[in-house]
Structure 1
Amino acid sequence: MKISARNFLEGTIKEVHKGATTAHVEIEIKAGIVTASITNESVDELGLVKGKKAHAIIKSSDVMIAVE
């Protein structure tokens, strides 16, 4: 697979939490856990299950930080 995004994190699916239409997929990477919100349809099409190797690809125009 080739992709232009540079924020490409390899890991293993820790949990898949399906909701009514959207799923939260937790991917365990070296630095911790990354959670993605994707459609249930995408979960099914990609065959995402606990223990499967996956990549978190992060593409964003900005990052927000907040403190108390």
Structure 2
Amino acid sequence: MKISARNQISGTITAITPGAVNGQIKVDIGGGNVITSSITEEAVADLGLVVGDRVTVLIKASDVLIGK
């Protein structure tokens, strides 16, 4: 499968927190860094995501905001 997202980061799922509609997935990408993604519970089930899975985080955004 080809995709246009150029920011592709491999990691391991460390936590899945279910929600009413969306769940939060925490992915350890190494170096003490964790990315958290909010995806639908349907997507979590369809992908069969479980803690310990190796996954790829795909980031595609027209805006990236930084605050201090």
TM-score computed with the length of structure 2 as normaliser:
0.91
CA displacement 1:20-59 (0-9 Å, x = unmatched): 1110000110241001000000000001100001010000
Q: CA RMSD in A?
A: 1.0
* Structure 1 runs not aligned, ≥5 long: none
In structure 2, C-alpha distance between the alignment counterparts of 1:22 and 1:14, rounded to whole Å: 17
Partner of 2:37: 36
In structure 2, C-alpha distance between the alignment counterparts of 1:2 and 1:49, rounded to whole Å: 25
Asked whether 1:5 is paired with 2:5, we answer: yes
Partner of 1:48: 49
Note the C-alpha offset of 1:65. Answer: 1.1
The count of aligned residue pairs is: 67
What SS does the aligned partner of 2:50 have? coil
In structure 2, C-alpha distance between the alignment counterparts of 1:30 and 1:51, rounded to whole Å: 14
The percentage of aligned residue pairs carrying the same residue is: 45
Asked whether 1:14 is paired with 2:14, we answer: yes
